[in-house]
Every structure is written in structure tokens, then in C-alpha cells.
Chains A and B, each alone.
Chain A
């Protein structure tokens, strides 16, 4: 777990009745992690994840977490990065980070935060995003609002839950943030933590690049579905890390996968017999990314054929080809790195 949810089945948590959960709730300046990133500090001293790039800042969070595990409760730790090594290496401004640290009884379903993470994980399993709202101070409480409209837990009062639900609806679209809720003459700050299902990478063509992709995608919290028409290639032996392996008519398999912005299709068969039918099935769907292995010239030839069939320039422009970022690699693992780099860039909004 780095920026996702507590996973009670995580082996490292099996002997941790309670942990300190540290969540990056606000950041300014040049922090490298995104809001919502988490770190778990166990009573035994175990560390999972990290809220900053590491070094002295993470160390301060760990120290605060250790103290909180003894004393209980929750707090927001504000750290100015100017105070750390920024000045030491001549940077004028490193920014600031606010980290919410709270004690969570991981395996106790009555613990509101533990229960919220279970509910959010269930929403993700249904393919829905979810928002966990938690107060930055006072008693522990949590409300989960999922994309489908389901709610779980409470922030204490129904009026507060209603206002939090309205904010969560906005957070589902615009991302995690802190927001105040005014109620009964007081104002309280809450962190709204958006969790989204992982990107699903549909890999058409069960060759060597696909083998590297499935191994590496797992590290990036991406699901993989390997698709091919050839039983001998698309085997569990060759793809032990793939979440799914599907053999059949590739265009029909791809069309059967519910399209969404979180689905990326990478065509790496390097064979028009799969590329053309799969692209016909995809270019008018709402998948978030379509990439095709091959040179620019080859990409132009495929586009020309599809243009003849009535696909528009806008539809054809959706095909990323040559696929991946240009990092100069040629071997299958290197090509896989460049493809995943492009998928990360799309996921983080750096590339359309």
C-alpha cells in the first residue's frame, strides 16, 4: 500500500492490531507525492508506504506516528520543507506538507477508519470510485461515499453527513482535498480522500513485451488482462502475474470489457489481423487510452485503412503510435517500460 487503502489481508499487517495511518492531506511547493498518499507505521515498527520522497521528512512522520501509537488519538503534522534540506542544497522554497496521523485498529470492524477502508475497497471491487471523509481533529469518524451513491459510516450527525456527501460528489470529479463543514455554529475541517479503481491495461498480443508488461504493471497498481487468439501463447505459465488471460476473438473480447476512462488498451501484437478489428471496436468507445506498437509509417497505414471505412480524424487521432514514451529502448522489457511510462503520464494527467 502506498497511496491506496489499508488492506487487512496484507501479510505485513497480520500481526499488527493497531497502526498509525499517516495521510498526506495537503501540500504546497515541490512535494513529489500526491495528496492522499499514505504510510502505515506498525506497533512493531513496521513501515509500509511513505508520505514524502523520504529522508528527514518521512522520519518526522514516523517519529510522530510512534508517539501517537503510545498516546492514541489523531493529529495533523505540518512540516515545512524549507526547514529540511531545501536550504542545505540551495533551494529557496521546498514547500510544506500537512500529514494527518491517526491510530487505526486495523482488524476491528467497529473502528470507523478501518471500516471505511473496507467499504471503500468494496466499492473499488465493484469498479466504482469512492471518497472517504474524515475529520482532521477530534474523535475518529469516517463517511464513505461511493460513485454509485452508496454511503457507509457517519461523521456523527446526519446534517454533516449530507453536507459531506455534497462535497464528496465534487471530490469524485476533482480529486482529494481538505474542506470545511460549518454546522451548529462551529466549523470543522475534513479530509476528503478519493480512491479510484486501478487502471486496467488490456494487452492484445501475448508476446514477450506482454510478459514484461504484466510483471511491471503490478508494481504500478495496474490490473492486466492479456488477450490473444492463440492458446499456446496466452498461458498462465507465461503470464503468472496477469490478472486475467482471455483467449478467443480479440476484437470480441476487447468489446466485451466495459469501457471507461480507466481502461487502457495496448495493441502489441504488431499484426494487422488483430489491430484493425480491435481498433474498429475501440475507436468509438470511451476507453481512456489506445496505443499501438509500430512505426509512425505503419500507424499512418492503419489509419488510412480505417479512414476509408469512415472513421474520422478525431477518432483516428486517439491511437497513440508509436506507442510509449521515446526512451530509446529496443528490448521487450525496455519497450514495456516506455509503454508503462506513457500510461503513468496519462493517468497523472501529463499526457492526453
Chain B
């Protein structure tokens, strides 16, 4: 098994930060319209930093693993720094890129986080 598959499976079976965030200050929901992944990313922003980030998803293993590593990474980060996280960071964290047709599964959590942060303070493009 490749490192990518092992990491994805580990996060899929034991996702970090899965579940609703009761005191969220911002939330966004995203979907991959054809494959059906759906995810909600919630954040609590305080003093310009992400105090907490969680996600809820009915999604595939790659999407859930991506959300898991992403929410771990951005917790405690300045909102402006979180804006710099990109798909390359996600793929480095998962130690590989998904097959061509599945890249959008890995980037959906990132896109959704950005929209949540944008709703939070309007600073994310």
C-alpha cells in the first residue's frame, strides 16, 4: 500500500475534528455536484485567529482525510495565514496526489474552509 493510501485510510477511519462546532462563528457548506461529496466546515475565530475548526461530512475517504489534516493544521493559525494554505499543502500532508479524477475530493474541504473564513471576516479572497 502506498503512503498516500495508508494516510487517507487512517484519517478516514479516525478523522480528527469531525462533528459539529457548537460555538462556531462562521460556517460554510460545499459539495461536489456530481460525485456527491458534501461537507460543512465550521470555525470559531477570535482575535484574528482560528480558535477551533471542525467539519461534518457525508463524503469519500479522500475528502474526509483532507478535511481531517486541514482542520488539524489551521487550528490556532492566523486567519491570514490560513488563507495561504493551498492544494499542494494538502497533497504533501497526504503524501501524494489523488488520481486525476479525484483531485476535487481532496480540495473540497479547502474551498469550503476558505468560504467559511470569508464569511467570518471578509479577508479571504
Residues of chain A whose beta carbon lies under 8 Å from any beta carbon of chain B: 228-233, 248-252, 269, 271-274, 277-278, 305, 308
Can you show 22 pairs from A to B with CB atoms below 8 A apart?
A228-B36, A229-B31, A229-B37, A229-B38, A230-B33, A231-B31, A232-B34, A249-B38, A249-B40, A249-B57, A249-B58, A250-B38, A250-B58, A251-B58, A252-B56, A271-B60, A272-B60, A273-B37, A273-B60, A274-B36, A274-B58, A277-B58
CB distance from B63 to the nearest CB of A (A): 8
Known contacts A248-B38, A249-B40, A274-B36: does B58 contact A229 (CB below 8 Å)?
Answer: yes
A229 touches B36 (CB 8 A): yes
Measured between beta carbons, the chain B residues less than 8 angstroms from A249 are: 29, 38, 40, 56-58
Q: Size of chain B's interface in residues, with CB distance under 8 A?
A: 15
CB distance from B21 to the nearest CB of A (A): 15
Contacts beyond the supplied A230-B31, A249-B40, A252-B56: 15 A-B pairs with Cβ under 8 Å: A229-B31, A229-B36, A229-B37, A230-B33, A230-B34, A249-B38, A249-B57, A250-B38, A271-B36, A271-B60, A273-B58, A273-B60, A273-B63, A278-B58, A308-B13
Task: Confirm or deny: B59 has a beta carbon within 8 angstroms of a beta carbon on chain A.
Answer: yes
A229–B39 CA distance with the chains assembled, in angstroms: 10
A305–B34 CA distance with the chains assembled, in angstroms: 25
CB distance from B112 to the nearest CB of A (A): 12
CB distance from B16 to the nearest CB of A (A): 15
CB distance from B2 to the nearest CB of A (A): 20
Known contacts A229-B31, A277-B58: does B36 contact A269 (CB below 8 Å)?
Answer: yes
Measured between beta carbons, the chain B residues less than 8 angstroms from A274 are: 36, 58
User: Of A230, A252, A273, which is in contact with the most chain B CB atoms at under 10 Å from its CB?
Assistant: A273
User: Of A229, A231, A271, A272, which is in contact with the most chain B CB atoms at under 10 Å from its CB?
Assistant: A229
A249–B63 CA distance with the chains assembled, in angstroms: 14
A65–B57 CA distance with the chains assembled, in angstroms: 59
A229–B56 CA distance with the chains assembled, in angstroms: 13
A274–B36 CA distance with the chains assembled, in angstroms: 9
Chain A residue at minimum C-beta to C-beta distance from B38: A229
